[in-house]
Amino acid sequence: MRKLGLIVKREYLTRVKTKGFVIGTLAVPLLGLAFCLMIVFLVNHKTESSLRFAIVDNSDGLSQSVVQGLNSKLEDGKPEFVVEQTFVRPADSDAVQTDLRNKINAGTLDAYLLIPAKNTDSFELHMRNPDNFSQIGPLSGALDQSVITQRLSQQGVHVDDLKSVLKGADLKLLKVSDRGEAEEKGQSIGIAIALVVLLYTSLLMYGIITMRSVIEEKTTRTMEVLISAVRPFELLAGKILGVAAAAFTQFAIWMTSTALLFSYGALAAMGMGGKSMLSGVHVPPSLILYATLFFFGGYFLYSAMFAAVGAACSNEQDAQQLQWLAMGPLVFCMIIYSVILNDPSSKMAVILSEIPFFAPVLMSLRISLQTPPLWQIALSLGLLVLTTIVMIWLSAKIYRVGVLMYGKRPSLIEMARWLRYS
Amino acid sequence: MDAITLEKVSKSYDSVAAVSNVSVRVRQGSIFGLLGPNGAGKTTTIRMIMHILVADEGSIKVLDKPVSDETRDLIGYLPEERGLYPRMKVRDIIVFLAALHGLTEAEAGRRADQWLDKLGLGEWKSKKLVDLSKGMQQKVQFITSVIHEPPVMILDEPFSGLDPVNSATIEEIIMEMKGKGATIVLSSHRMDQIERMCDAICLINKGQNILDGDIRSIKESYGKNTVQFEFTGPDTFLKSPSIEKLTRLGNGAEAKLKPGADSQEVLRAALQAGANITKFELMYPTLNEIFIERTTRA
């Protein structure tokens, strides 16, 4: 136990003291803050200058109602759209259009709108930059409204307040759970996806860190010195626990800063005039508890697998070929998760989430969407713990043989044979 | 009491026998040379003594205890495949390994400082290992294997990469440890050093113990069959039919005589040929000679 403690301590300190760790740990919250601020800025940002445009109206006066609909204002109070000229049923439409195109190229005009004779034909907007969606949106809306009004009145329907008639039904989504009902605003899916991504990336990232650390001891030939002092199992366990301690330190810092960011970030967002996107997001404590349990199980399972891969390889190149063994199940989770998102209690979802290699990600996902029966959670967790213990035992065997093997990358058959060596 | 006993030990990897039926005894308080060509099975033997590998057959004892994770702490081990965490500080790494071998961190720190000063590395203690020269790294490695003052030490090629001055320092330290009662197993390809330092040897070839015992009695069993000359002048006498094998040296030659040949005959022939003999010594074969002869014999 004393030796295990020494190994954990060394692994932890050498990791936490690196520049990479300090920078990474601080940079993520800062980048997150910058990202939030940027989104808030972009959401609130509108085009600065008015769109100067002309209308070539081949219909019988539709341009009037279009112009009336274009009443949106810029932040500084100026109108967003300025109609410079209107040509109603010009004699030579082509000549007028050529002239307008010249003006656009000369920069004295931004665009011109061509209204067809019949409102069932296409309208055309000619401009230098047709990808400017923020301006095309309101213009297109005004066109829709004018055309619909015109058609209705052509059929003899008189509509004073079109908006009130066309207003759609308001559908509220309510999530039923054993704690009663709560209004669903899409946050369950948001939390679920965030959880899947978080579990996937952290299991993968720390697994690979563990693998690299084993390979480093092999390439620097530190291994034999170490295993002349400690048992390979102690070395393996110490490494996994040491990396885990560093990982949780980083996580704790990230979580704390994210919590601060959420509260201050939401305030900042509201201060800048945007609606807080985060209000109403509520993560149930039971989900945090379960996700943590599954994360721990998954962490030890995958770390043991990655450590075994590292022990079997002599260098990073070999490891890149062999690491799919450990990465495969995780990648599969990312491919399959949308199926479970659609129907979290389907037979396939239940079966997949009971398989220990998928359980950390997929069972957490199911819990976040629709809490499954307790027995399913307990069974999944139980199987995960059992598999993890077996995997650590197997990895320790591969580790014991592999750490002293240099040279050719072993085949899977050779690795299986290592398990028989005492 | 024997410090290390191997009794009919065998170990194979899949179908390849790395060590077969090896029995060796290492007397306590002696320096023991473990010799053999590359790939002979020395490293496998050492790893079994360290309980890093487990023998398929036979028994291994260290200070009369069957090898286990516990006996490992009785042995200081300098492996041939060596290296240390390159980005750790010199003193930290010594303290870490000493603590793994059971010292308290305070005691480990005190001894680390002593050793670093003794080997002239005092001012390097807070440098990272990568910043040290290869020879200095070797010395750090040596410190890590002896700092916990184990009763038994296994040093695999302790002199490789060291210049003559450092090599002499390490040799001195090894003799000092022997003086304090430690048992040292030395594996080296430098036969002159083995010959000078060891009391007994074991020669392993192709996984088998082909020769073992006290160096003196091994040499005596060969008899004084080797003549070393130093001379100037003609060397035609070296073609004498009494000489079985000839090795040219810088200012002379070493000649192994045929069984039953008279060394005085060779000397007379040399003088007759007009050579000016400055040294003529009849001696036992060198360990180097014995090594080559025994390992290249069909």
Mean pLDDT by 10 residues, chain A (422 residues): 89 88 83 78 67 86 81 75 86 87 88 85 84 75 82 75 69 67 63 82 88 86 84 86 87 76 61 50 74 88 89 82 87 86 84 90 85 88 91 82 69 72 57
Q: What angle do CA A308, A312, A314 make, to 5 degrees?
A: 130
Nearest CB among A14, A228, A417 relative to B72 is that of A228
Q: Which residue has the tokens 């000493």?
A: B98
Is the Cβ pair B97, A220 closer than 8 Å? no
Q: Are strands A51-57 and B226-232 parallel, antiparallel or unpaired?
A: unpaired
Average pLDDT, chain A: 80
Q: Which residue, among A14, A245, A7, A222, has the nearest Cα to B100 in the 3D structure? A: A7
Does any CB of chain B come closer than 8 Å to the CB of residue A339?
no
Does any CB of chain A come closer than 8 Å to the CB of residue B75?
yes
**Chain A residues lying within 8 Å of B77, measured CB to CB:** 225, 228
Question: What average pLDDT does this structure show over B221-227?
Answer: 83
- Predicted pLDDT at A274: 47
- Please give the Cα distance from B124 to A27 (Å, whole number): 34
Nearest CB among A221, A231, A417 relative to B81 is that of A221
Is the Cβ pair B52, A230 closer than 8 Å? no
pLDDT digits over B125-138, tens only? 899 988 998 889 98
Q: Which of residues 10-39 of A touch B (CB under 8 A)?
A: 10, 14
Q: Is the complex ipTM higher than 0.90?
A: no
The set of residues, in sequence order, having a beta carbon less than 8 Å from that of A23 and lying 6+ positions away, is none
- Please give the Cα distance from A276 to A270 (Å, whole number): 6
Question: In whole angstroms, how far apart are CA A129 and each of A51, A78, A99, A100?
Answer: 11, 21, 18, 15
> B159 near B170, Cβ under 8 Å?
yes
Is the Cβ pair A225, B50 closer than 8 Å? no
Does any CB of chain B come closer than 8 Å to the CB of residue A46?
no
Does any CB of chain B come closer than 8 Å to the CB of residue A231?
yes
Q: What are phi and psi for residue B276, nearest 5 degrees?
A: -95, 100
- Predicted pLDDT at B40: 86
CA distance A258 to chain B (A): 33
pLDDT digits over A292-326, tens only? 888 888 989 999 899 888 888 877 788 888 888 88
Q: Which residue, among A297, A303, A311, A327, has the nearest Cα to A240 in the 3D structure? A: A303
The alpha carbon of B89 is separated from its chain's Cα centroid by a whole number of angstroms, namely: 30
Q: Which residue has the tokens 């259009």?
A: A97
> B254 near B247, Cβ under 8 Å?
yes
Surface-to-core class of residue A340, CB atoms within 10 Å of its CB (0-12 exposed, 13-18 middle, 19+ buried): buried
Average pLDDT, chain B: 88
- Predicted pLDDT at B186: 93
pLDDT digits over A369-409, tens only? 877 888 988 999 999 999 988 888 888 888 777 777 666 66
Confidence band (pLDDT; 50, 70, 90) for B77? very high
Count CB atoms within 10 A of the CB of residue B9: 23
- Predicted pLDDT at A275: 47
- Please give the Cα distance from A359 to A352 (Å, whole number): 7
- Predicted pLDDT at A263: 66
Surface-to-core class of residue B159, CB atoms within 10 Å of its CB (0-12 exposed, 13-18 middle, 19+ buried): buried
pLDDT digits over B38-68, tens only? 888 898 899 889 888 888 889 999 999 999 8
Does any CB of chain B come closer than 8 Å to the CB of residue A154?
no
